[in-house]
Structure 1
Amino acid sequence: MARLAVKLLLLDEDDRILLIHARDPKTRTDCWYPVGGGVDPGETLQSAAAREAYEETGLRDLPPGTHVWTRDHTYKFNGQTVDVHEEWLLHRVGHFTPTPAELSPYESTTIRGFAWWTADDLHTTTETIYPPELGQLITNASTRT
């Protein structure tokens, strides 16, 4: 059964997205991905988004997000294969410096930092970005909101 997850497109006033830089403990490969995580039983997508934003970046008072797409995906990380059903929300936020508030021990060992990326940066980078089409997805989503 797929794990329900909420993924956050945190876009600042310059339409830059906040991404997490992580390293896979098994393969030692680096990647970048948006803020987000599992939705706990009884949580709404918005409450899970607010919790994840706070835990991973220290952001308090996350503004309500707009649902922009859904994705079913299977990924491999740390030697495990995980099936997820992702609900993606776009949140307009002021630019801030992420300071994680409550990382799990696992996140503490895999997260290496954060960066704000433009859609153009995502289109041209040689870094590994998840999902790979994130630059185009952001361009499409930000023109709708």
Structure 2
Amino acid sequence: MIPRPSARVVLIDDTDRLLLFSSHNKLGGTARWYTPGCGLHPGEAHQDAALRELYEETGLTGVRLGPEVWRGRPWTMTRDGVTYEVQQRYYLARVPIFEIDTTRMEDFEKTSITGHRWWTAQELAETADLLRPAGLPRLLACLLADGPPHHPILVDG
């Protein structure tokens, strides 16, 4: 198994909405929603990867990353016959409302990502779609109410 360190961004706009991207959920036929981000390039720091991914997936530049708020329990995935252990870190970023620009996405992202949407905490709580990390409605509500935790919270997915 090959380690796959990843950086994700909990991107919240100034109306407290969270940006998520979607892919087809093979289990149950619903959508699977997740934060912007992906794997690190060799030698790349987590924060640098998070900012690179934001630029590639949204067109956003000049973002000031906040602290790491969540840390994913490792999980496995297989791509092209190779099994990876995914190790995710989630960083907070607050931004003004802006127009998403996905033209810089990598080819893999263009074929796997089916859409994007800004979500309120209430909308997340009401959806039947699969959300990652698990418990996202509660995690977001706590983050909005209490601010960033002193240490990253361990999450699934």
Q: Give the RMSD, CA atoms, in angstroms.
A: 2.5
Segments of 5+ residues of structure 2 without an aligned counterpart are 149-157
Q: Where does the alignment leave 5 or more consecutive residues of structure 1 unmatched?
A: none
SS in 1 for 2:140: helix
- Is the aligned partner of 1:89 residue 2:91? yes
Structure 2 counterparts to residues 17-56 of structure 1, below 5 A: 17-23=18-24, 30-56=31-57
> Which residue does 1:70 correspond to in 2?
71
| Code of the aligned partner of 1:7 | R
Q: TM-score, normalised by structure 2?
A: 0.80
Aligned to 2:16: 15
3-state secondary structure, aligned to 1:138? helix
Query: Post-superposition shift, 1:74?
Result: 1.9
- Spell out, residue by residue over 1:73-103, the C-alpha distance to the aligned partner (whole angstroms, 9 max, x if none): 3255778764211111010011112111421
Tell me if the contact between 2:33 and 2:132 (Cα under 8 Å) persists in the aligned partners.
yes
Displacement after TM superposition at 1:8 (Å): 0.6
| Counterpart contact for 2:77–2:85, Cα < 8 Å | no
Count of residues in correspondence between the two structures: 145
Measure the CA separation in 1 of the matches of 2:52 and 2:84.
21
Q: Is contact 2:13–2:95 with CA below 8 Å preserved after alignment?
A: yes
Q: Offset of 1:64 from its aligned partner?
A: 2.1
Match of 2:143, SS? helix
Change (3 A) 1:115 1:75: farther
With normalisation by structure 1, the TM-score equals: 0.86
Between the aligned partners of 1:133 and 1:89, the Cα distance in structure 2 is 17
